A and B are shown apart, each in its own frame.
Chain A
């Protein structure tokens, strides 16, 4: 017997055990998201993938699909909620797109375009965060970290290294690195790690190359993320 849910009026089949996000992605329906990556366990922290179920907002990435469920995603109210959440992420960090090498191929930026963000709206927090350039192959710019914990999950669950963790709490929450000095260069991190490949922003970047793709040819230059898909789902993605 087949199970289906109704997403914005469209019948979508799913296998029991799948989340709303799984079901949507499987049929090519885009629900914007940042902390979700199908390779890792759902996390539910960014709250960008909020959808409406029974008059409540739930995160599509963590909510199990149920037979006959009615899900709203593409409404102006939900779009406004998602826009506000992305704006919160932008004012929390220091996202200076013109000075970021990931610009144009950045999932945070692409999601912000998708939700129609023209300004950060809220006052900037302008936190003082360091850059860690201690590793020979990679750098971390903590200004750009959105605490999606994809690197944490990739390092723990795929690389089996636990190089990253989140420390502190509240607005002082921040990514930390597992090494005696706290520096990436002293950790077990390697350029070949999956954790090096999953950052949806420009927080974790390879060294020794820069701005390789000219403007116009970057991942999200020609088409929105709803068409192109996630950063890492692309064969060309680095």
Chain B
């Protein structure tokens, strides 16, 4: 977008400061606004924000460098990021990236000389059931085809503003295929809040306990316990501020159910948050929305406004003078780690999303070091229904340890990708049958950090006690080379490691390099052993869940699908860690030598 003059930047920052305030916690939100306005974060904005918010320049720059959607160099007027999850790849995104780059005359990760456009890749944007997808200036475009990409190239070249692009490009479908306990009914009229006010917080907690509701983000902590800990933190002192945070940073590759819940079950989600506030005594809540879903902000804001008007949010909820609670939407900016609750809180406070030490857990010391409940979108929704309809309602489905239902995001090789809700305890093969998947080679349950299943395991159950899942369910048929899955996930984790601890920071990079070495046909048995050694090191010694789970896909596939590695091996023993002949390329170019003696042959 060219170089803005400093006065423009300063004026914009001043307006953003007026709008969002001077609290240092707002830093990330200001930066996102600046990025949106100018296509980058110019130095003048860094200086202005550092001065106004009283944070160090270094902290501002560090935040810009941490979040993938913030840039310290100008991007093109049209900043196009192709979603690069394995499911996008399976739908042919690489061909489309090539097509657009060719049409627009620039390479990947380049900005065209005229400043018109930048093309890049980004982690899964949560459109796996309607991919390939991309983000243009933060807005989601789905169902890409060659024709659509062609049209986008025209629009970019003609400089047509996004507002005048065809609306169909931005259409996001819910694709709800199977409804269960939660999805059957999106309507609510504040019933759970009335229940809360009629029966009190203790009864609400009792119903939650009875229901056996566990967190739907994957870890499965008992919701009633989390809320009770938070309520009783600081000796239950009601003067201590408490916070409710809805984790809508749905970053796990292959999951998109929170996007649907926020689109079509919005009231229930907000009602769950309000209910939680009533139980724990919070007056402020945050919806931490991943940057990829920023297109939802107007919708979410309108629902919040309506709920305020209806007396379901804001001051004196349902006429109760002491029941004040409101919800603010905070955007993320491209960081998978922020799905981890303590990293999310750091990000809410405007900082880099680096995991905190635990204990203390957020229920004791969360946002601004105050007691904070962080729950998944789906958990809030379920909690609202549990308090409305009672604990037994949820208990009626599922297993002893996994009460109720789980909403799955199904994508990959199947006839009907989309949203499926099943009782916990449903076997994997049932899902495969329902979604029309045939000739299945593997299923990736719970995302890149989850488990790779071989057909022999398809009778395993989706439940905390067998296959815990945050909902991502990616299917790979026999035509797929699973090494592509491994490459995609290994690159993902190397990109998304926050860099705080040694095993994850360096280990994810080493795993990616080794996997690429395998794919390049340069690896040896020694390298496979290295993968087997580095993986457990990361699992055991990393600081947080990202590092613990990042090697899962490598270790799972080494065990269950060894052939995908073996068929690429160059040597049974040992091979160089770099391409010897390519390493002479610079010298050949500098000397003009290119004889037989100026090349290195591979050794057997």
In contact, B62 and A170 (Cβ under 8 angstroms): no
Contact count A vs B, C-beta below 8 Å: 125
A88 within 8 A of B: yes
* Interface, chain B (partner A; CB < 8 A): 47, 56-59, 61-62, 65-66, 335, 337, 352, 357, 359, 494-503, 505-510, 513, 530, 533-534, 537, 540-543, 577-578
Rounded to whole angstroms, the CA-CA distance of A62 and B543 in the bound complex is 10
B540: chain A residues within 8 A (beta carbon): 50, 56-57, 81
| A169-B497 contact in complex given A62-B357, A162-B58, C-beta closer than 8 Å | yes
A14: chain B residues within 8 A (beta carbon): none
Across the two chains, which residue of chain B brings its CB closest to A61? B357
| A47-B577 contact in complex given A85-B537, A165-B62, C-beta closer than 8 Å | no
| A169-B503 contact in complex given A44-B543, A47-B541, C-beta closer than 8 Å | no
Within 8 A of B (CB), among A169-185: 169-173, 176-180, 182
Within 8 A of B (CB), among A138-185: 146-147, 162-173, 176-180, 182
Across the two chains, which residue of chain A brings its CB closest to B66? A169
A40 within 8 A of B: no
| A171-B502 contact in complex given A50-B541, A123-B577, A176-B62, C-beta closer than 8 Å | no
In contact, A169 and B56 (Cβ under 8 angstroms): no
Query: Which of A59, A81, A170 is the most central at the interface, judged by chain B CB atoms within 10 Å of its CB?
Result: A170
In contact, B58 and A164 (Cβ under 8 angstroms): yes
A197 within 8 A of B: no
B533: chain A residues within 8 A (beta carbon): 84
In contact, A88 and B506 (Cβ under 8 angstroms): yes
Distance in angstroms from A69 CB to nearest chain B CB is 15
Distance in angstroms from B287 CB to nearest chain A CB is 24
In contact, B62 and A88 (Cβ under 8 angstroms): no
| A170-B509 contact in complex given A44-B501, A84-B537, C-beta closer than 8 Å | yes
Across the two chains, which residue of chain A brings its CB closest to B358? A62
Distance in angstroms from B358 CB to nearest chain A CB is 9
In contact, A45 and B66 (Cβ under 8 angstroms): no
Distance in angstroms from B340 CB to nearest chain A CB is 13
| A46-B509 contact in complex given A162-B56, A167-B62, C-beta closer than 8 Å | no
In contact, B496 and A85 (Cβ under 8 angstroms): no
Distance in angstroms from B115 CB to nearest chain A CB is 25
A-B contact sample (15 more), CB < 8 A, given A50-B541, A85-B541, A167-B352 = A47-B501, A47-B543, A57-B540, A57-B541, A92-B505, A122-B510, A122-B530, A123-B577, A123-B578, A165-B58, A165-B62, A166-B62, A167-B62, A169-B337, A171-B509
In contact, B61 and A176 (Cβ under 8 angstroms): yes
A45: chain B residues within 8 A (beta carbon): 500-502, 543
| A170-B58 contact in complex given A88-B503, A92-B506, C-beta closer than 8 Å | no
B495: chain A residues within 8 A (beta carbon): 170
Rounded to whole angstroms, the CA-CA distance of A172 and B508 in the bound complex is 12
Q: List 22 A-B contacts (CB under 8 A).
A: A42-B357, A44-B357, A44-B501, A44-B543, A45-B501, A45-B543, A47-B503, A85-B502, A88-B507, A123-B510, A146-B502, A147-B505, A162-B56, A167-B58, A167-B65, A169-B498, A170-B497, A170-B508, A171-B494, A171-B497, A178-B59, A182-B58
In contact, A179 and B62 (Cβ under 8 angstroms): no
Distance in angstroms from A35 CB to nearest chain B CB is 9
Distance in angstroms from B526 CB to nearest chain A CB is 11
In contact, B541 and A168 (Cβ under 8 angstroms): no
Chain A 75-98 interface 0/1 with B at a Cβ cutoff of 8 Å (1 = within): 000000100110011011000000
Within 8 A of B (CB), among A113-127: 122-123, 125
B508: chain A residues within 8 A (beta carbon): 170-171
- For the residues of B in contact with A, the DSSP-based class is helix
Query: Which of A48, A59, A164, A167 is the most central at the interface, judged by chain B CB atoms within 10 Å of its CB?
Result: A167
Query: Which of B58, B335, B503 is the most central at the interface, judged by chain A CB atoms within 10 Å of its CB?
Result: B58
Distance in angstroms from B388 CB to nearest chain A CB is 40
In contact, B499 and A173 (Cβ under 8 angstroms): yes
Partner among B57, B357, B497, B513 whose Cβ is within 8 Å of the Cβ of A123:
B513
Across the two chains, which residue of chain A brings its CB closest to B356? A44
In contact, A165 and B56 (Cβ under 8 angstroms): yes
Distance in angstroms from A139 CB to nearest chain B CB is 18
Partner among A48, A91, A123, A168 whose Cβ is within 8 Å of the Cβ of B66:
A168
A147: chain B residues within 8 A (beta carbon): 499, 505
Partner among A89, A163, A170, A178 whose Cβ is within 8 Å of the Cβ of B499:
A170
| A169-B502 contact in complex given A47-B543, A123-B513, C-beta closer than 8 Å | no
In contact, B502 and A180 (Cβ under 8 angstroms): no
Query: Which of B359, B494, B506, B542 is the most central at the interface, judged by chain A CB atoms within 10 Å of its CB?
Result: B506
Partner among B56, B497, B506 whose Cβ is within 8 Å of the Cβ of A91:
B506
B577: chain A residues within 8 A (beta carbon): 123
Chain A 29-46 interface 0/1 with B at a Cβ cutoff of 8 Å (1 = within): 000000000000010111
In contact, B499 and A169 (Cβ under 8 angstroms): yes
Across the two chains, which residue of chain B brings its CB closest to A90? B506
Across the two chains, which residue of chain A brings its CB closest to B498? A169
Rounded to whole angstroms, the CA-CA distance of A171 and B500 in the bound complex is 9
Distance in angstroms from A18 CB to nearest chain B CB is 14
| A169-B352 contact in complex given A88-B503, A147-B499, C-beta closer than 8 Å | yes
Rounded to whole angstroms, the CA-CA distance of A198 and B412 in the bound complex is 51
Rounded to whole angstroms, the CA-CA distance of A44 and B578 in the bound complex is 33
B505: chain A residues within 8 A (beta carbon): 92, 147, 170-171, 173
Rounded to whole angstroms, the CA-CA distance of A11 and B503 in the bound complex is 31
Across the two chains, which residue of chain B brings its CB closest to A171? B509
B499: chain A residues within 8 A (beta carbon): 147, 166, 168-173
Rounded to whole angstroms, the CA-CA distance of A165 and B46 in the bound complex is 15
B537: chain A residues within 8 A (beta carbon): 81, 84-85
B530: chain A residues within 8 A (beta carbon): 122
Distance in angstroms from A44 CB to nearest chain B CB is 6
B62: chain A residues within 8 A (beta carbon): 165-168, 176
Across the two chains, which residue of chain A brings its CB closest to B578? A123
Distance in angstroms from B347 CB to nearest chain A CB is 12
In contact, A178 and B56 (Cβ under 8 angstroms): yes
Across the two chains, which residue of chain B brings its CB closest to A172? B499
Rounded to whole angstroms, the CA-CA distance of A93 and B201 in the bound complex is 54
B502: chain A residues within 8 A (beta carbon): 45-48, 85, 88-89, 92, 146
B56: chain A residues within 8 A (beta carbon): 162, 165, 178
Rounded to whole angstroms, the CA-CA distance of A171 and B494 in the bound complex is 8
In contact, A179 and B494 (Cβ under 8 angstroms): no
Within 8 A of B (CB), among A46-72: 46-48, 50, 56-57, 59, 62, 64
A178: chain B residues within 8 A (beta carbon): 56-59
Across the two chains, which residue of chain A brings its CB closest to B507? A88
Ordered nearest first, which 4 A-B pairs have the shortest CB separation?
A173-B499, A178-B58, A167-B62, A165-B58
Distance in angstroms from B185 CB to nearest chain A CB is 41
Rounded to whole angstroms, the CA-CA distance of A81 and B534 in the bound complex is 10
Across the two chains, which residue of chain B brings its CB closest to A176? B58
In contact, B335 and A165 (Cβ under 8 angstroms): no
Rounded to whole angstroms, the CA-CA distance of A163 and B501 in the bound complex is 21
Rounded to whole angstroms, the CA-CA distance of A81 and B357 in the bound complex is 21
Across the two chains, which residue of chain A brings its CB closest to B577? A123
Across the two chains, which residue of chain B brings its CB closest to A42? B357
A123: chain B residues within 8 A (beta carbon): 510, 513, 577-578
Distance in angstroms from A84 CB to nearest chain B CB is 5
Query: Which of B499, B502, B533 is the most central at the interface, judged by chain A CB atoms within 10 Å of its CB?
Result: B502
Distance in angstroms from A203 CB to nearest chain B CB is 15
Rounded to whole angstroms, the CA-CA distance of A64 and B502 in the bound complex is 21
A89: chain B residues within 8 A (beta carbon): 502, 506
Rounded to whole angstroms, the CA-CA distance of A162 and B47 in the bound complex is 16
A162: chain B residues within 8 A (beta carbon): 56, 58-59
